[in-house]
Amino acid sequence: MKALGIIPARFASTRFPGKPLVDLGGKSMIERVYAQAKKANLQHVVVATDDTRILEHVLAFGGQAVMTSADHQSGTDRCYEAYTQLAQEFDVVVNIQGDEPFIQPEQINKVLSCFQLPSAQIATLVKKVKDAQELFNPNSPKVVLGAQQQALYFSRHPIPYLRGYDQQEWLEKHSYFKHIGIYGYRTSVLAQLTQLAPTLLEKAESLEQLRWLEHGFTIITAETDLETLGIDTPQDMEKALNFLQNQK
């Protein structure tokens, strides 16, 4: 299986403009993501950006990058345009978040392992929820799994509802999983996803992956026990710097 890693990187983030280029312990955020992705079982890694400053920066540290449209509504669309610009064919594309500088190569490899199943059209990661704050946090989407580790539904609300139990007992009585936002796609499927119109469930929860489920695509999951650290705002930088310090 030949796999391509694509790191979408926009400059004009609403909550954190210029985020990919911010300095994080002597290296930019995008350079740290790129370096981690290069350690995984990927045959090629490329940054997909809409800004020449990011493009030039990636090329300067020896990475690969391509320019993509500024009009994309999602990282999925940006990934597909980047893929079409490459002169190589790949079996699988992995969409790696550009704001997770500490993503572990084994997490990327777990996504790739899902494609050993012929039924896997899309793959992603899940992690067991450990505390009630996380369970009831709408900014941490949860996922319901089927018997074959396929995603049945994603929600910002904890589901299933445990009838007959107080909410503080839910984690004792049932295993809940949160979604880790890294995706793998078979390349033929990625092309199809970009042609889908937004759906009612997607609009209700503001979760793009519900569009894929509504249209009948199969999302296979792999469980990780590794935490991710996404940087969405300037305030998140303190957590990232503390993480770096603890690694030394």
Quote the CA–CA distance of 146 and 143 in Å, as a whole number. Answer: 10
- pLDDT at residue number 136: 97
Average pLDDT over every residue of 223-236: 83
- The first and second tokens of residue 124, run together, are 């992603």
Average pLDDT over every residue of 185-199: 96
- pLDDT at residue number 87: 84
Sign of CA dihedral 3, 106, 113, 111: negative
The model's confidence at residue 243, banded by pLDDT at 50, 70 and 90, is confident
Rounded to the nearest integer, the mean pLDDT of the chain is 93
Prediction pTM value: 0.93
Task: Judge contact between 151 and 144, C-beta under 8 A.
Answer: yes
Average pLDDT over every residue of 65-74: 90
Q: pLDDT, tens digit, for every residue of 212-226?
A: 999 999 999 999 998
Distances (CA, A) of 17 to 21, 51, 224, 233: 9, 12, 30, 9
- pLDDT at residue number 245: 72
- The first and second tokens of residue 105, run together, are 């190569």
DSSP 158-219: --S--TTS-GGGHHHHS--EEEEEEEEEEHHHHHHHTTPPP-HHHHHHT-THHHHHHTT--E
- The first and second tokens of residue 61, run together, are 């540290």
- pLDDT at residue number 220: 98
Average pLDDT over every residue of 59-68: 97
Q: pLDDT, tens digit, for every residue of 126-179?
A: 999 999 999 999 989 999 999 999 999 999 999 999 999 999 999 999 999 999
The model's confidence at residue 235, banded by pLDDT at 50, 70 and 90, is confident
Beta bridge partners of 125: 180, 222
Q: Which CATH class is domain 3-234?
A: alpha beta
- pLDDT at residue number 248: 59
Closest CA to 114 of 191, 44, 206, 183: 183
